[in-house]
Chain A
Amino acid sequence: MDCTICNNLMDDYFDGHLSHKKRKQVTGHLTTCQGCSEFFRKYENMLKSIRNVEIKKCPDEVVDSVFDIINIDDKFSRRKSVFDRINEFLFLYSRQLGIAGAAVTVFLFVFLITSQFDKTTHVQQQYTTQDVEQATDQVKLALAYFNQVTSRTEEIIEKEILHQQVVRPMKSSIRTALKPLINGG
């Protein structure tokens, strides 16, 4: 056994985890090696000192604070901020968003242009002289239909309603009332 192997087995030696054979090999090396023997003695003293240290109970506030810190860290590791989520979304869908944004911009641009277009000029280019002449005749025809209906309405009101239902009964009543006078009664 050399010094390196002996030093590596030191922890297991003191913990009692070595087999009888290995323990004998370590002890045999210590009797022949002054350096490892010295190291063994210091290590043994250190372990004794640690065992003799008084264990003090940790105050509850300190324990709670430690647990709080552990819990906060845990929450942070699970929950993402809104900003992080937005960043993640943008990163994942950057290409599609770029195309959608470009399409919306083009649409708005073209829509604004067409709505601001000089409509009068546009209309004049759309209609020919023949269209305007035909439209003039159509307007006159529309007015003629308006006249037809309103004239017929006047006719009905005057002749049918007023005459039949107002004037004629009134004339008849007056004739009846004046009959005695007319007949010399």
Chain B
Amino acid sequence: MKRYIIVLLFVLVLPFSASAQENYSKYQGYVDLSDIEEFKDSDETVEIFITKPLLSLVAAATSSGEDPSFSNLLKNLALIRVETFNVKEKETTKVKKIIQKVSKKLTKEKWSRIVRVKEKDERVEIFIKPDGEKIAGLLIMSLKPDKEAVFVNIVGNIDMEQLGKLSRKFDIPQLDSLEVKKKSKK
């Protein structure tokens, strides 16, 4: 009898867990960045992972603000992910290899590379995932040796013009004082 009760409880809990966790790999514009997990323990990292429900709330909260285009941009997005970490000189080669690996994978998956910059050891690669006339995903990979690596993945129906215009309004030094998810190990 006890066994049957345990089985029944398990069956009741299972659908909640199944429906609760969203699988982002179903989105065309999502990029698996699990290769950079090992760098999350470095001295200074920034991790941002904002999902669709929260993006919708932010869009709703900012719809009556100064710039409605900010809200309009966020309404159509499914995910914003940012991963940055410090890169020591000895780690430069490893990060370059990760960038290369991700680039190859995205090329195979029919992503379009719109920017590729190689300046000494500095690397910048920008990919977009077309979906008909729309853009379903954007990935930025940037490496400044002995400084910082930045990975930005934006998923959803992206308005590149709006994104470009809006982004110019925001400066990292300005935002340093804000309460954002920033880990700093001393």
Q: A residues bordering B, Cβ < 8 Å?
A: 99, 102-104, 106-107, 110-111, 114-115, 119-120, 123-124, 126-127, 131-132, 134-150, 152-153, 156-157, 160
Pick the residue among A127, A131, A144 that contacts B167 (CB under 8 A). A144
- The one of B53, B61, B119, B163 that contacts A146, using a Cβ cutoff of 8 Å: B163
A137 touches B150 (CB 8 A): no
- Find out whether the CB atom of A110 lies under 8 angstroms from the CB atom of B16: yes
Residues of A within 8 A of B46 (CB): 141, 145
Pick the residue among A136, A145, A150, A157 that contacts B61 (CB under 8 A): A136
Contact status A144-B175, CB under 8 Å: yes
Contacts of B36 in A (CB 8 A): none
Contacts of B170 in A (CB 8 A): 140-141, 143-144, 147
- Given A106-B11, A135-B54, A135-B55, 6 more A-B residue pairs with CB atoms under 8 Å apart are A103-B8, A106-B12, A140-B175, A141-B172, A144-B167, A149-B152
Using Cβ atoms and an 8 Å threshold, which residues of chain A touch B112? none
Interface string of B173-186 (1 = CB under 8 A from A): 01100111100000
Q: Is the CB of B58 within 8 A of A139?
A: yes
Residues of B within 8 A of A127 (CB): 53-54, 57
The answer, yes or no, to whether B132 is at the interface (CB within 8 Å) is: no
CB distance from A151 to the nearest CB of B (A): 8
Within B3-50, which residues are at the interface with A (CB < 8 Å)? 4, 7-8, 11-12, 14-16, 18-19, 46, 48, 50
Give the nearest-CB partner of B84 in chain A. Answer: A145
Q: Is the CB of B124 within 8 A of A148?
A: no
